[in-house]
Structure 1
Amino acid sequence: MRRRSGWTARERQVADVTHHEAELGDVRIHYVTAGSGPPLVLLHGWPQTWYTWRYVIDDLAGQYFVIAPDLRGLGDSSRPVSGYDKRTVADDVWRVVSRDLELRSFYLVGHDWGGPVAYALAVAHPDAVTRLAILDVTIPGDGTTNFSQSGKRWHHGFHATRDLPEALTAGREDVYLEWFFRNFGATPTAVSPDDVAEYLRTYRMPGALRAGFEYYRALERDSLDNRKSPKLQMPVLALGGACSWGRGLEVVESLRRVARDVRGGVVEGAGHWIPEEQPEQLVKAFKAFFRESQREQLVKTGRVSC
């Protein structure tokens, strides 16, 4: 584990966050940690980085040891040519958590592509993932065949096309990525221009857009992998933005196809960018969900009565 000393101006606004780098051989993973207590791993999606969790980290660090990595190819992690199927990305996270940090169990949260990564990690290591939360994404291969909602998620097919999106967006990352932030939130200003600039800092780096598009190009592989997976046994919290696709309800519906114990619903006043649009609602939901597990442990050890 190696600490990174350089912070951007935007990153400095997140209180008490420490930067680290894990050299895993085939990839270098940048991640941040904060707080103390039961471990809680937060996985971001596209076109974002660990920074999407900044408000959530500030509130959760008082009760949890928070770990937020930049996924393979994104943020300040390295950008291998291959390995963007979600099982491989999940293994990156597992190696950071189990080897670098030597954690045996943890709570796990995934938003957007971080959701399928979190699901793959929970399937691979069910004894380590105590509880799982998935935000505003469905699971590829969940028993349905239309992950992209009959083309409503138009960018899925575009991003999956080999070479074309790189050619059309190179040098115009601001125009392209800002469109998503303006149109996928509950309001066009759900993510501020200053915060978009922090995301653009990394997505303008060589290979960053290609790496992001590779997440979409691995979708067929992900679907095949997940169809073979057993149903998850740990409790799952599934939340969608009330102003997002399917009014957020499709998240719960998808997770109920792949897990036995699912609860959740919608986050009011949020579109797709839930951690930034409604962090207080999200933190409240997380604390209530994870507190159930902590109470269960106390009951098992006889430290509290039922």
Structure 2
Amino acid sequence: MYQVRRPHQSQFVSIRNLDYHVQVWGEPGPGKVPLVMVHGWMDVAASYQFVVDAFSEDHYIIAPDWRGYGRTRAPLADNYWFPDYLADLDFLLDHYAPGQQVNLVGHSMGGNVVMLYGGVRPERIRRLVNLEGFGMPATIPAQAPGRFATWMDELKKLHAGEMDLKAYDSADGVARRLMKTNPRLSQEKADWLARHWAAENADGSWSILGEPAHKVTNAQLYRVEEVMAIYQRLTMPVLAVEASDNSLDMWWKGQYTLAEYHERLKVVPQVEVARIEDAGHMMHHDQPGVLAERIERFIR
């Protein structure tokens, strides 16, 4: 089993009618800029443990489980709206860093959140790190009727139990799933992650700590023009980190490319693009030491 170097504290914060679970490493102190790290889709805050252990400096780190993930339960939700993540982050910063700038890191979905949040609240962010938060393919208005229909159809499937997440017979089964999804993940890391990414049920099976409602298609189209207007307001230095494996090609099969993503980044006033070798989308698992050094160098 992976041996943790820097244990975390679990805290629960009342945010927008939810008990938000937040993992905290280190302590606040004079001259310390809080480092806020937000996870991606179907992930949890604990996923950053390997990077936290690899940091060479003593940071005050705040990492929430997004609503409906990990230990932040949202039992009444049957779908999730992207603007809620921005608002949740805003409330969390009010709690942990009132009147203070933070260094903000986001992975995948969390990377998309921090890019939008940074453009909406630029005064709150000192440095911003986006780990493969690529955004989505451009859409056109004519797609709206079909998108709304898909959303309603999937809601019916959700309530019929047709979108439930698979349960596993043991934590070992969860670890095998993690290693199948990411062949670079070692057995010791997978065994450790499985017990944070999933939880044991009363019957001894294990379930992923993510609500099935996260699988429901967003009813709203992804409006690139709005995103670009927000990107232009990212006045802080931005580090966009990507892995050597090209996930966009795998996901979108040419509908949305890395070159298109790079084109969008050109409107960001201060952006640096970095690449992590021998890594896939879960770079914080694959190359935590390299990523930790890159983040620290940037925020230093």
TM range (shorter): 0.7 to 0.9
Q: Flag structure 1 segments of 5+ consecutive residues without an equivalent.
A: 1-8, 147-156, 292-306
User: Alignment partner for residue 56 of structure 1, among 51, 54, 60?
Assistant: 51
Question: Which amino acid counterpart does residue 201 of structure 1 have in structure 2?
Answer: A
Question: Which amino acid counterpart does residue 34 of structure 1 have in structure 2?
Answer: W
What's the TM-score once normalised by structure 2's chain length? 0.74
Query: 2 CA distance for matches of 1:173 and 1:244?
Result: 30
- Give the drift of 1:89: 0.9
Q: 1:181 to 1:244 in 2, by over 3 A?
A: farther
1:172 is the counterpart of 2:166: yes
1:256 is the counterpart of 2:265: yes
1:195 is the counterpart of 2:193: yes
1:73 is the counterpart of 2:76: no
Please give the per-residue CA displacement for 1:238-274, whole angstroms capped at 9, x wherever unaligned. 1111124158955961651452211123211111111
Q: Flag structure 2 segments of 5+ consecutive residues without an equivalent.
A: 141-149, 201-205, 250-256
The count of aligned residue pairs is 267
Query: 1 CA distance for matches of 2:191 and 2:158?
Result: 23
**Equivalence for 1:245:** 247
Query: 2 CA distance for matches of 1:180 and 1:264?
Result: 31
Q: Secondary structure at the match of 2:230?
A: coil
Q: Aligned-residue CA RMSD in angstroms?
A: 3.7
Q: 1:26 to 1:184 in 2, by over 3 A?
A: same
Query: 2 CA distance for matches of 1:179 and 1:224?
Result: 41
Please give the per-residue CA displacement for 1:253-296, whole angstroms capped at 9, x wherever unaligned. 165145221112321111111111100110111011111xxxxx
**Equivalence for 1:98:** 94
Q: Secondary structure at the match of 1:137?
A: coil
Question: Which amino acid counterpart does residue 99 of structure 1 have in structure 2?
Answer: H
**Equivalence for 1:123:** 119
Query: 2 CA distance for matches of 1:111 and 1:61?
Result: 21
Identity of aligned residues (%): 19
Whether the aligned pair in 1 keeps the contact of 2:239 and 2:272 (CA below 8 Å) is yes
Q: 1:250 to 1:181 in 2, by over 3 A?
A: farther
Whether the aligned pair in 1 keeps the contact of 2:77 and 2:213 (CA below 8 Å) is yes
Q: Secondary structure at the match of 2:197?
A: helix
**Equivalence for 2:253:** none
- Give the drift of 1:91: 1.4
Query: 2 CA distance for matches of 1:177 and 1:225?
Result: 39
Q: Secondary structure at the match of 2:293?
A: helix
User: Alignment partner for residue 21 of structure 2, among 30, 50, 55?
Assistant: 30
Q: 1:224 to 1:105 in 2, by over 3 A?
A: same
1:42 is the counterpart of 2:75: no
Q: Secondary structure at the match of 1:220?
A: coil
Question: Which amino acid counterpart does residue 237 of structure 1 have in structure 2?
Answer: L
Q: 1:123 to 1:99 in 2, by over 3 A?
A: same
**Equivalence for 1:283:** 292
- Give the drift of 1:174: 4.1
Please give the per-residue CA displacement for 1:39-62, whole angstroms capped at 9, x wherever unaligned. 110000122100110011223383
Q: 1:61 to 1:70 in 2, by over 3 A?
A: farther
Whether the aligned pair in 2 keeps the contact of 1:271 and 1:277 (CA below 8 Å) is yes
- Give the drift of 1:35: 1.9
